[in-house]
Amino acid sequence: PEQTAAIVLEAIQQAGVRAVIASGWGGLAASDVPETVHLIEGAPHEWLFPRMSAVVHHGGAGTTAAGLRAGVPTVIVPFKSDQPFWGKRVWQLGVGTEPIPRRTLTAEALAAALRATQTDSDMREKAAAMGEAIRAEDGISSAVRVIGAALGS
State the pLDDT confidence band at 26, using cuts at 50, 70 and 90. low
Pairs from 18-22 (Cβ < 8 Å, separation ≥ 24): 20/48, 20/52
Mean pLDDT of the chain: 94
| Greater pLDDT, 27 or 132 | 132
The answer to whether residues 13 and 78 touch, using CB atoms and an 8 Å cutoff, is no
Dist. CA 114–CA 97, nearest whole Å: 9
| Amino acid of residue 122 | D
For residue range 71-92, what is the model confidence (pLDDT) as tens digits? 999 999 999 999 999 999 999 9
CB atoms within 10 A of CB 89: 17
The answer to whether residues 97 and 89 touch, using CB atoms and an 8 Å cutoff, is no
Q: What is the mean pLDDT of residues 27-34?
A: 80
Q: Which pLDDT value is given to residue 90?
A: 98
Q: How far is CA 47 from CA 32, 85, 90, 131, 152, in A?
A: 26, 25, 21, 14, 38
State the pLDDT confidence band at 27, using cuts at 50, 70 and 90. low
Q: How wide is the angle at C-alpha 50 spanned by C-alphas 67 and 78, nearest 5°?
A: 25
Whether 130 shows a pLDDT value over 80: the answer reads yes
Whether 28 shows a pLDDT value over 90: the answer reads no
The answer to whether residues 73 and 91 touch, using CB atoms and an 8 Å cutoff, is no
Q: Which pLDDT value is given to residue 23?
A: 77
Q: What is the mean pLDDT of residues 95-118?
A: 98
Percent of the chain having pLDDT more than 70? 97
The answer to whether residues 70 and 50 touch, using CB atoms and an 8 Å cutoff, is yes
- At residue 26, φ and ψ (nearest 5 deg) are 40, 60
Whether 25 shows a pLDDT value over 60: the answer reads no
State the pLDDT confidence band at 31, using cuts at 50, 70 and 90. confident
Query: What is the 8-class DSSP label of residue 98?
Result: P
